[in-house]
Structure 1
Amino acid sequence: MAENKRCEKKEVLWLPERRGFAAEVKSALERQGFLVKEAGNAVEMLHQLDQRRSDGRPVSGLITGVDLPDIPGPRMLEVVKSRFPRLPVLLLADAGAPVFPGDPASRLADGFFKGTFTGEAVADRLAFLQGPDPFQAELRPARRSKPPARAWGLLRLAEEIDAEGVYRHLLDHPLVTRCEAVQGDYDLAVEMASGVARRLDQAWNDLRKRPDIGQADLLPVIAPPLDETVQQFLSAFRRRQEEGARHGARPRSAVLIRELLLVEIARDRLEAVFPRLACAEGVTSCEAVRGAWQAVVQIQAPHREEIQRLVGDRIEPIDGVLRLRSLKVVRLIEN
C-alpha cells in the first residue's frame, strides 16, 4: 500500500508541445520514477486534473508547452494556477515560440524552459518541487446568491441626434451598469442587469421606443455552453484576473485600447469554441448570449493594430467561428 502511494505521488500530467523535445523530456521523467500521463489538449487536461482531485489521487505536477491545439500554454498555466496554486507547473517552449507580451507565465511557472535545455533539467526541477498534496490548497469560489438577469443592449442612434445627451441619460438609468460609445454597426453598447428579468425586458422596450434611437438589439446573457469542470476552472481564472486588476497587477484599462467583438458560432461547435475564446490572448471577458450572435467578447491591447493582429491570428481562425463584428470602444467626444 505504501509503495502504491509513492507511485501515485509521482504521477505527472503531460501536455506535450506539438513540436520538438517531447520524447526526451518524457524519457527523463520516467528515468526519475515519474509516471507520465498524457492529454491530447488543454480541455482534456483540465478534466484529468479535476478527476484526480475528485478521486483523491495526488499529482506531482503538470508539464505543458506553449503551442497547444486549443488553449495557449501560458493561458493554460494561469487557468490551472487560479484553482490549484500549489500544483507545480512547468512551461516548455521552443526557442522561437512567442510567449505573448505582458504575460505572467514566466512569473507564475514553477519552471520556465525556453530554447536549449535537457530533459534531465526538466525532471530535476520537477523532483525539486515535490511537496504536500497540491489539491489541499484548492481555491474555491464563495457561494453566491442567484445572479441577476443581464443583457447587452446595442444601439444605433437616429440621424442628427445629440449622442452625448443619450449617453448621459443611459448612464443615469438604474438598470444600466455600463455604457460604452462605440464605432462600427452601432453607436452605443450598454450592459444592463436586474434581479427581475421582466424589469430588464420592460426597461429595454422603453429604451427602444425613444425617438432618438434608430435601431436597438438586445442580447440576453445566458449560461455558457461549458461542462461544469471547465466552467469551474474558467471562473477561477476570471476571478484571479479581476483580483489582479483591483490590486494593480495588470495595466489599467484606461491606458489600453478596447473593443467589443460580436461572435457568431456554429451551433455544433459551441462547447469547443468557448474555452478557446475565453482564453485567447488579449481577451478579458467572454459571455454567451442569445440572439443573432452567440458571444460578446471584450478584448484589449496597447494599440489598435495589436487588436487587429489578435483577432486575425487568434480568434478568426478558431474552428467554429463563423462571423465577427468589431465595435471599437471610443471616447464619446471622438465620435
Structure 2
Amino acid sequence: MPGEIQRKQTWHGDMVKAQERIHALHRVLGAFDSYNALLDSELPAKHLLHDENVADKISRRLLQPTSGKGNDQVCQWLFDTYQTQDPALQLVVLRFLPVLCGVYLPRITTSPDGPLAGFEAVLLALYAAETKARGGRPVMINIPDLGHASLYHSPRQTVGSPQPHVEVISPALEPQSSVKSTKRTVIVAVALELFYKRIIMMPSKSKFDLCHYARSWAVKGCSWSNAVETLARSALPPPPSLNPAQVGSSSSLGAALTLGEALTLDQEPQDPPLLKKSNRPGRWDVSGMAKRNPFHFLTA
C-alpha cells in the first residue's frame, strides 16, 4: 500500500509539472487547439510529445530568421522544460533538437559574430546533463581479440585467454559554461547523442527531421551533393506550401522544415534506387548501410 501511494504521488507530481509547462507554452505560443485537451489528459507530457499541431508551431518559431537570440521565448521554454528533470518532459525538448541544430549550425558558421544565446543555452543544458550522468568517465567499448577462436568454432583451439582491446568512443566530458568555437562540435554531438539514445520514443516526424538535416550536413561542400539531393527528393513527397493562409493548422504539415521547405509523412514515398520495400509492414530496407551511431565520429 505505501508503494502504491508513493506511485500515485509521483504520478500526480509529474502531471502537475507537465501542466505547468503547458501553461507556460500557451503564454509563449498563444492559443492552440489542443490546449484544453492537454491539460485534461492523464498523461499530458506524452500527449504533448506527439501533438503535431504544437510541434508545427514550435518548429516554425525555431525557423524564424530572428530565432535563437538570448530573448527567444521558445528557447527559454525548451531550457526551462529540460531543467524540470522530468524524463517525459525532457523527451519533448529532445523532440525539437534536430530542427534546433539544423537552424543553429549554418547560422553560427556563416555569421559567427551574431549571438545565438537562446540556442546555445538549450544545447548547454543537454551537454551539462550528460556530463553529470557520465560522472567524468569516458565512453568505452571492448573489442574481442579476433586472433582467438570464438565459442562457435569447432574444434576449439585454445591459445591462452582472449584479451579484449579497449577503445574509447568518447573521451570524458569537460564542463562548459559557454559554447566556444573549439568545443561547439562536441557539445552539439553530445546533444544529438541524447536524441539518438531515445530515438525509439520520438515521433516519426522528429526522426524525419534528423534524417533531413543529417543529409544536408553530410553532403555540405561535397562534389556529389547534387546527386544525393536528387536521390533524396525521389524518395520524398513534394513539400507543401509554408504559407500559413494556405496550410492553416492542418496536422498533415510535418515538422521536417529547413530553408523554407516542409516534408510530410502522410504520403507513401516512391521507391528510390537504394530503397526497397520490406516484408515487414510500414518499413523500408536500405542496402549497404551500417547500423551504428551516426554521430560517433563527432565525439571521437
| Bucket of the pairwise TM-score, normalised by the shorter protein | under 0.3
> Is the helix fraction higher in 1 or 2?
2
- TM-score (normalizing by structure 2): 0.23
Structure with more strand by fraction: 1
